[in-house]
Structure 1
Amino acid sequence: MEKIMVIAGEASGDMHAARVVEELKKINPKLEFIGMGGQRMAEAGVELLYDPTKLSTIGFIEAVKHLRLMYRILSKLEEAMKEEEPAVILLVDYSGFNMKVAKVAQRCGIPAVNYFAPSAWVWGQWRANKMAKRDVTIASVFPMEEQVYREAGAEVEFVGHPILDIVDPNLDTTEFCREYNLSSEKTIVGLLPGSRQQEVDALLASMLEAASQLQERYQRELKFLLPVADTIANSELEAEIKQYDLEIELIAGQSYQVMKVADLLLTASGTATLEAACFKTPMVIVYKTSLSTYLLGKLLVKIPYVGLPNVIAEEEVVPELLQGAVTGDKIADEALNILNSNSKQEDITEKLDQVINRLGEQGAIKRVAKLVLATGGISNGAS
């Protein structure tokens, strides 16, 4: 019985890896899976050697704290490669660590596929060069990613972005609107401060200050919705919100419903911005990290934008505010520029549609699964 090793780190990688594992099992039910990841992967049938999802960090300096532990885990994975002899290794996101796993896999003579590969188009060609030298096959999810890895000499297949499989832009929100008393008479603003505690700590206060200003300065009645990730405690959000004269609906999950019904989103930079783009919802993107991480990033980052819709479009489709510019005043100003202009809203909607078109077609998860099987020389299980 053939085995596949799957390596993911953070919650998002765990989710994407689990979906590929589920697809692989549909194609070939006899496959076995081992690896590193979280609850989603375990539920999908992966025998976990380690779960790193609780160690999720943002930034260069923060990641160093877990460096020694990461090398111990890397050693454990190398032992498993030699003992279990997987036919192929699927690396999902978690770029710093997975670049090291790719080197070990090459040393062990095991082919590897990288899904959500290191962002060489952000941090520089050297990352693509390294993965190419390690004979890693790239399952590319972004058009600019495909280009930079091909230029580095890597084997690349543009699979498209799985968000097109995951997000339904025609989501029915009738029941959701009824439950939260939403109507066209109210302008709905969604607050998405992130799914990591570090993001919430850095962004929520400024978002709430912006909401407070919008309540004072905007001419129509506003309704604020805040979908709460399962990684964040409601009590902490409630304590922060109490400091402002605001009525904000805290909603367990259902972030897609919020994105669909909102007239505007105030959102942390990240995957949520692409999810919102699928609904063509105007947004203001905010990003704030530790000063050390930001300064290092300024030296290394090779692109002018941080928001994914802007990166993909290669222009500022939606406003983004970074570091010191993340204040209640500036967020509110950008929000009002959008809310008070129908032409601005229409322009953003049209350009977000173009962004999504650049992400390919539905079926990315199935294409990744087939690429993993082909790379590992594994049959489809039909025989």
Structure 2
Amino acid sequence: MAKVVVLEKDVADKIAAGEVVDRPASIVKELVENSLDAGATRVEVELEEGGRRRITVTDNGCGMMLEDAVLALERHATSKIRAADDLYAIRTLGFRGEALPSIAAVSTLRILTCAEGEETGIAVTVERGEVSAAEQRGAPRGTQVTVTELFANVPARLKFLKAVPTELSHIVDLVIRFALSYPDVAFRLSHNGRAVFASQGSGDPLNTVVAAYGREVAREMLPVDSGEGAPVRVQGYISRPAVTRTSRSYQSFFVNRRLVRTPILTRALDEAYKGYVPAGRFPIACLFVTVDPAVVDVNVHPTKMEVRFAAERDVFQAALRAARQALAGANLAMPALPPRVEQSIQVQTAGERPAVAPPPAPSAGSGAPVGEALEDPFAGLVVREPVADLAPKGK
């Protein structure tokens, strides 16, 4: 009898899902990346019980036709690449065509979407990886994906989920970092019906820093820019040496707007701050690396959180030079902040930041509406700082 067998589809799907979906935060990451790739200017994330009971991501992106929505549920079906050569110049956040089928394999998935120019939308329901319903339905332009019954068919994985506050903290941290990378997109995150975080989407990176870290911290941030013309450009903000934290969880790194973990930028910051901060203290940082997509490999890890550079030394030197220049001019005038609004809010904190006022509300005409859920996306705004590292395994 043969010892080697071909696994059944549902078994293979669950194995593949384990590489992509390990907790609610990983689902939020995949869905928000799809929204951003769809050109959304507003993204709303709604959670119940830390995402364990329900995750809903709504956007005002390009939406999908019926055939695309159904095909997107097939593994390795994607609109973002066409050939193997495309892998060497990736300009989108997603590209493998694994997110939706992986999520659908371990949950009940509902998609409500309407493509631009269409009079009606479509609703698709997927249970345990199989499409159970697909029908036309009225919907605003964009896409809404709802995930329920997460890991109901994989009880072993369900047991490894942490308490609601822990799972929520990973999602809060993730959404904040998306907002930092996309200051031109308005984000809203709510939990059990209560607003947790919102960004204005004004396009001003410093405005997003205020929403993410608070006004008092934002006053102590130094602009960083390695300059134009070089193959690698590093921009962003780093904190003055007097403003540090006890972990690196307040350091956010992005490569071509993709949230990543990279020891290259970590080492560059450590080197730049030598002599400025004591051992065991780490600056707050938000750094953006812009390079030709052809010289960075983002297809090295299932989560797409790790990247490889063709010229790592160039990236290191650009980041080090930019950070040192910013620190050398630390006695310059503090950056101008957005004006205060008259009414302050109660800030939920889990760390070291003092209470602050939120950034001003967006103008009535800014951005396209997502639907009723986003008619007043910043009402009851609560600013919250990141409280956890980037969803490390086993935490």
TM-score (norm 1): 0.29
TM-score, structure 2 as length reference: 0.28
Of Structure 1 and Structure 2, which has the larger fraction of its residues in helix?
1
